[in-house]
Amino acid sequence: LFSQLMAQPIGILGGTFDPVHHGHLRLALEVFEALQLQEVRLIPAKNPPHRNTPVADSRHRSAMLQQAINGTRGLVIDERELHREGNSYTVDSVADIRAEAGDQPLCLIMGMDAFQALDTWHRWQQLTDFVHIVVVNRPGSDAEITQADIAALYTARKTGRIEDLNRRPAGYIFKIRLPMLDISSTRIRDLLQAQQNIRYLVPDDVLAYITKEQLYQ
Ligand code: ATP
Ligand code: MG
Q: Residue 92 and residue 61: Cα distance in Å, rounded?
A: 21
Report the SS3 class of residue 15. strand
CA of 12 to the centre of ligand 1 (A): 14
Residue type at position 123: R
Task: Determine the residue of 184, 193, 200 to mutate for testing ligand 1's pocket, defined as the one with the most ligand atoms within 8 A of the Cβ atom.
Answer: 184
This prediction's pTM: 0.96
Question: Which protein residue's CA is at the shortest distance from atom 9 of ligand 1?
Answer: 15
Sign of the Cα torsion 147, 150, 153, 154 reads: negative
Question: Which protein residue's CA is at the shortest distance from atom 14 of ligand 1?
Answer: 15
Which DSSP state fits 173?
E
CA of 184 to the centre of ligand 2 (A): 7
State the Cα torsion 157-180-81-97 to the nearest 10°: -40
Report the SS3 class of residue 160. coil
Q: What is the pLDDT along the chain (217 residues), one digit of tens a residue?
A: 454 456 899 999 999 999 999 999 999 999 999 999 999 999 999 876 666 789 999 999 999 999 999 999 999 999 999 998 888 899 999 999 999 999 999 999 999 999 999 999 999 999 999 999 999 999 999 888 999 999 999 999 999 999 999 999 999 999 999 999 999 999 999 999 999 999 999 999 999 999 999 999 9
Q: Residue 63 and residue 41: Cα distance in Å, rounded?
A: 15
Question: Which protein residue's CA is at the shortest distance from atom 21 of ligand 1?
Answer: 111
Question: Which protein residue's CA is at the shortest distance from atom 15 of ligand 1?
Answer: 15
CA of 64 to the centre of ligand 2 (A): 17
CA of 166 to the centre of ligand 1 (A): 26
